[in-house]
Chains A and B, each alone.
Chain A
């Protein structure tokens, strides 16, 4: 795919996964879809929930990153990371799979934001379908890597598959997938006519009809994912939602909020090319957020969540947790 040898290999590895396995991590699609097995969501519907790779393969992503970071930090790191992308493949090692087994955390807890998002939508009277193991990878990363031709080809396939299932509207949960489906594909696919919204937009529009109370009094801060705030342009919606929940006090960073939000250090595949630097940036971002005195960092991006959790761990901030906004809303509905 890379004729020039100038694409950092960490990225060609991910790109190969998208084009050959139709998901970022190159693992089986059934694994990704397992979170929804008890929800009996219809596979054919005009409005579908788009779960995205990030949450569906969160464990795999996390194990992969943990492996990459270990290699990157070792003495021979600089050269080895270059080859890391190819070595699991060459050796036939399913690195993600191995690490998945040794990691304590299972896919159930990773997929909680997805389950909660579907529940929140259903409480708002919005019933969605889910393509399950047939949900395509949006392929957005291909665009950011610079493989625009691949992206255009992949985008056409995604569009065709969605159309063949009768899909008209998409509610996305991962900001990056949502932006890809809403903007990038509209630019690259002729006659693109899918209506794409982010979960937050849909929830913010219906939130006033609900009585929401968080189980306890809590200070939360909000981390705007880059794709959410500077790509999708959604600044007010998450704050509107948090503001509608009783018991939640929103405390925000001085400068680095909204459009000035600091990147978590995982953007455009950066974390696969510069794993250690990415971790340093995660720590820096977490420091800004923790300074607010919040007990919970709320965000809505699986990549950001992974990064922020890494940052918290590095800083040994055990008393702060990171949750997706969907989890917060679901918790506030239960009371």
Chain B
């Protein structure tokens, strides 16, 4: 079967899956209600989004120098920082830092998914635990994420109960969601303290101070990046903005459009843990990690930034709002996607990493070009226009 036929079969199977549709229709209703509330409570967000759009539009053109600046800042803070030109380079750097036979606890990272980081580390002979609940479910199901923020959006509670019952050997009732969550907590708790390495991505990074912003609700990222002796962060270069002030604005707009008034936790990480409490001698690795390694990955991003229409894909804050407004996503979930989803996912498939042209074409022609995602997007990213541009590149063979 051709890539297109295979893909079409996949999305049609999804479209006939009542459970996906049910899970999504609940998610869409609650997303819209929560976001409306959050925006009503903090109405300045809309104006702030405009400001962030300008920050991002400018930063995307300066990614290389911002990355350089961030590397210097992190090194100044006594962390280590690297610039990886390609996914392979990023995997090589991380592989060398990790080695084999290690226990790794991982926060959810779309950039990690993009380069299949977990699979790579496992192949090298490491034990890797996804600690985000949704991602943990996905890992245990051997599935792949179907939403950028809620990776297990397509998995109903019955399936989770069955999965966890299988792991614990104890019959867990699907209606007791509290117990399901507690089970995951129990399963993962000791791993944080046994782990050799904690891994994360970052939602935004300020180049001036070299500060990673990690936004979350579960608390798993705090544990995964706080308890183990080493913290490794993989960051796509599009996450860089010039200043700490810019990064705060980007963060606030991100979580608000991700349907939160404010998230439970935002961690700001700028360097390894240190103390000077004994005779003012700076010593690293007090309570937190002794080492911080940050890898800034390009992998096609600086090339993409040069394209007049497609560059806006890099403005994306990964709030996930657009996905809830896509009529195709509402019935197929992330099956309408590659590493990233829906129309904007087509741009990533085409331009980032492996340049999966046939998959990108399939996705580009799945976009309805209805334009509702743009209405939702705080960055006003025009996915319809990008898909038409991609089609042009495909059709005219540019």
Contact = CB atoms under 8 A, between A and B. Distances in A.
A139 B394 CA distance: 19
Residue picked from A144, A146, A285, most chain B C-beta under 10 Å = A146
Nearest to A147: B395
Interface in A198-223: none
A3 to B, nearest CB: 5
A246 B171 CA distance: 63
Contact of A226 (B8, B11, B371, B391): B371
Contacts of A280: 15, 331
A145 interface: yes
B268 interface: no
Contacts of A148: 392, 395-396
B165 interface: no
Interface in B345-373: 357-358, 361, 364-372
Interface in B1-33: 1-2, 4-5, 8-9, 11-12, 15, 32
Contacts of A20: none
A43 interface: no
B349 to A, nearest CB: 13
Interface in A127-149: 143-149
B172 interface: no
A326 B325 CA distance: 29
A203 to B, nearest CB: 24
A2 interface: yes
A268 interface: yes
Given A78-B8, A79-B1, A277-B15, A265 B395 contact: no
B370 A146 contact: no
Given A277-B328, A281-B327, A230 B370 contact: yes
A145 B371 CA distance: 16
Nearest to A278: B368
Contacts of A144: 369, 388, 391
Residue picked from A4, A259, A276, most chain B C-beta under 10 Å = A4
Contact of B366 (A1, A4, A147, A274): A274
Contact of B327 (A1, A6, A143, A262): A262
B177 interface: no
A226 B358 CA distance: 27
Contact of B371 (A1, A6, A231, A276): A231
Contacts of A259: 372, 375
A281 B11 CA distance: 13
Contacts of B365: 7-8, 11, 269-270, 273
Contacts of B390: 146
Contacts of B394: 4, 6-7, 146
A284 interface: yes
| Dominant SS among interface residues on chain B | helix
A218 B331 CA distance: 33
Contacts of B396: 3, 146-149
B365 to A, nearest CB: 5
Contacts of A273: 365-366
B395 A7 contact: yes
B330 A226 contact: no
Contacts of A58: none
B331 A226 contact: no
A161 to B, nearest CB: 25
Interface string B209-247: 000000000000000000000000000000000000000
B357 A6 contact: yes
Interface residues of B, number: 40
Nearest to B374: A230
Nearest to A79: B5
Contacts of A145: 391, 395
Residue picked from B327, B331, B394, most chain A C-beta under 10 Å = B327
B169 interface: no
Contacts of B388: 143-144, 146, 268
A269 B370 CA distance: 11
- Size band of the interface chain A makes with B: 35 or more
A230 B375 contact: yes
Contact of A260 (B5, B372, B393, B395): B372
Contacts of A268: 367-369, 384, 388
A284 B364 CA distance: 22
A144 B369 CA distance: 8
Given A144-B388, A276-B12, A230 B328 contact: no
A265 B8 contact: no
Residue picked from B12, B330, B390, B393, most chain A C-beta under 10 Å = B12
Contacts of B330: 284
B209 to A, nearest CB: 39
Contacts of B374: 230
Contacts of B364: 146
Interface string B144-183: 0000000000000000000000000000000000000000
B397 interface: yes
Nearest to B2: A82
Interface in A221-247: 226, 230-231
A263 interface: yes
Contacts of A276: 12, 15
A285 B388 CA distance: 24
Contacts of A4: 394-395, 397
Contact of B372 (A7, A79, A263): A263
A285 B9 CA distance: 23
A4 B331 CA distance: 30
Nearest to A268: B369
A6 B2 CA distance: 10
A263 B361 contact: no
16 contacts: A4-B397, A7-B361, A7-B394, A78-B5, A79-B5, A147-B395, A148-B395, A231-B371, A262-B370, A268-B368, A268-B369, A270-B366, A270-B369, A273-B366, A277-B332, A281-B327
Interface of A: 1-4, 6-8, 11, 78-79, 81-82, 143-149, 226, 230-231, 255, 259-263, 265, 267-270, 273-274, 276-277, 280-281, 284-285
Given A226-B368, A263-B327, A281-B368, 6 more contacts: A3-B396, A3-B397, A146-B388, A147-B392, A268-B388, A273-B365
